[in-house]
C-alpha cells in the first residue's frame, strides 16, 4: 500500500499552480492568496483523508474549489442573498483600447471575462496542463462537460480576441 506523501513538500511544490487556480476561481489577487492559504491549511488539517496512490494535486484543487464555493455561499448568506452571480465577483473591468497590441495581459483579461465554470476549466487544462480526465475529476463533472466548456470558451475567446484586434481606431486622423 502506498504511503502518505510529504504533505508540506507537496504543498510547497504545488503552491504556484494552486495560486493560479485560486486566481481563476476568484478573479482577484488578494482573494486568490487568501484562498490558496486556506486550501493549504485545510489540506494539512485533513491530510489523514488523502488516499495514497491518488493524485495529490487533484485532491488539493478540489479542496480549493470547495473552499471557494463555501466562501461564496457564506458571503451570500451574510448579505441575505443566494449564490453570487459570477458577474459580481471581484473581476477587473478594464477596457482595452483597439490600438493596444494583443498581449498576454489581454488574453488573461479575456479569460477572466469567461463565466466561472468555463474560466476554471480553461485554467486547469490550458494553463495548468491537466488532462481532460484530470480536470473532470477535480471539478467532479463528466469529461464531456469539460470538452463542452473548453469548446465554448475557445469560441468565446476567439470572438473576444478577434474583436480586440479588428476594431477600427476611434481616434481621428490628423488633417
Cβ atoms of 77 and 69 closer than 8 Å:
no
Pair 51, 80 in one domain: yes
pLDDT above 80 (res 137): yes
pLDDT above 90 (res 167): no
The predicted model gives 120-144 an average pLDDT of 88
pLDDT of residue 61: 94
Angle at CA of residue 12, ends 10 and 13, nearest 5°: 65
Pair 81, 6 in one domain: yes
The predicted model gives 91-119 an average pLDDT of 66
How does the average pLDDT of the chain come out, rounded? 79
Quote the DSSP letter at residue 48.
G
pLDDT of residue 2: 62
Domains contained in the chain, number = 2
Residue 146 belongs to domain spanning: 92-167
**No. of H helices and E strands in the chain?**
7, 0
Interatomic CA distance for residues 59 and 121, integer angstroms: 16
pLDDT above 80 (res 147): yes
pLDDT class of 14 with cuts at 50, 70, 90: very high
Pair 24, 57 in one domain: yes
pLDDT class of 78 with cuts at 50, 70, 90: low
Pair 61, 128 in one domain: no
pLDDT class of 45 with cuts at 50, 70, 90: very high
Pair 72, 98 in one domain: no
Amino acid at each position: 500500500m502506498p504511503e502518505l506523501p510529504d504533505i508540506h513538500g507537496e504543498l510547497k511544490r504545488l503552491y504556484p499552480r494552486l495560486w493560479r487556480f485560486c486566481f481563476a476561481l476568484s478573479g482577484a489577487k488578494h482573494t486568490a492568496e487568501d484562498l490558496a492559504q486556506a486550501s493549504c491549511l485545510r489540506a494539512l488539517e485533513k491530510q489523514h483523508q488523502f488516499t495514497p496512490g491518488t493524485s495529490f494535486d487533484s485532491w488539493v484543487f478540489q479542496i480549493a474549489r470547495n473552499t471557494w464555493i463555501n466562501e461564496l455561499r457564506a458571503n451570500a448568506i451574510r448579505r441575505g442573498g443566494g449564490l453570487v452571480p459570477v458577474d459580481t465577483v471581484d473581476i477587473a473591468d478594464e477596457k482595452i483600447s483597439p490600438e493596444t497590441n494583443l498581449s498576454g495581459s489581454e488574453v488573461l483579461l479575456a479569460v477572466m471575462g469567461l463565466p466561472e465554470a468555463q474560466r476554471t476549466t480553461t485554467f486547469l487544462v490550458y494553463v495548468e496542463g491537466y488532462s481532460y480526465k484530470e480536470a473532470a475529476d477535480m471539478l467532479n463533472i463528466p469529461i464531456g462537460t469539460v470538452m463542452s466548456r473548453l469548446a465554448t470558451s475557445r469560441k468565446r475567446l476567439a470572438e473576444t480576441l478577434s474583436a480586440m484586434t479588428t476594431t477600427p481606431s476611434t481616434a481621428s486622423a490628423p488633417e
